[in-house]
Structure 1
Amino acid sequence: MATRDLGRLGKAVEARRVKLFSSRLKAATAAGMSKDTWKRVENGEPAQLGTYAKMEPVLNWAFGSCEAIAEGGDPLPVEYVGSNGDVTMVSKPQVASAGDVKTAVTISAFATMPDATIGSVQAQAERLVEELRKLGFQIEDE
């Protein structure tokens, strides 16, 4: 079993909270907990599993995402959609920047084709971004 890194989890929770809420208090209120409890998680201190379960929907993460992060993984972004009193969790696609895609292509190309020229790899990266957009993937401009 992997070692739990609560500091890593705390940093991820804080980064996500800053994107979604104007304050720690607003995030904590939305999760139904005190801002002090939320702060303890962000500081990498241990919390009850129920605390994480309250935070995950507020952060638009699937249940179990906090544990995954603490064990070295990544959260699963989701949306919670309500209808007629029911709430459904829906997977949310990750959004990549064009720069991320180009970096991934460059690393991959040079790892598999060491004789490729920089120009050909850059052209390949540009083309991939274009093709992904045509397929409907959300690729943000740099």
Structure 2
Amino acid sequence: MNTLKLTVTALVLCVFFSTATYSQIASKEVDVLVENAMKKFEVAGLAVAIVKDGKIIYKKGFGIRSIETKEPVNEFTNFQIASNSKAFTTAALSILEEEGKLKWEDKGKKYIPEFKIKTQILKKL
């Protein structure tokens, strides 16, 4: 599966669902939107979860995991999204920073006390 197509589809869906329009449409309409996006971007399979107020209000797998095995996508399917997880993490951290829940200048240890980095490695850089 083309990673770029998967990434674009995921970003389109994230933008759509982040606009809070989900509360205005039914699950069947979400299904149609996802299926149309899959066709447009030629994606074999993907999973969607919508979280509102910290609770999952919609979750569903679409399509197949593998063209060879034809196994369906479900809530346990692991997707290889490579470095795209860094972009999603940065977006999430940006939201937290904007909400005043963290500051870019703070050390990671402030929020994750068990976080350790070898100083010797840093000195070599």
Same fold, TM-score > 0.5, yes or no: no
The higher relative CO (CA closer than 8 Å, separation ≥ 6) is in 1
Point out the structure with the larger helix share: 1
TM-score by length of structure 1 reads 0.30
Which is higher, the Rg of structure 1 or of structure 2? 1
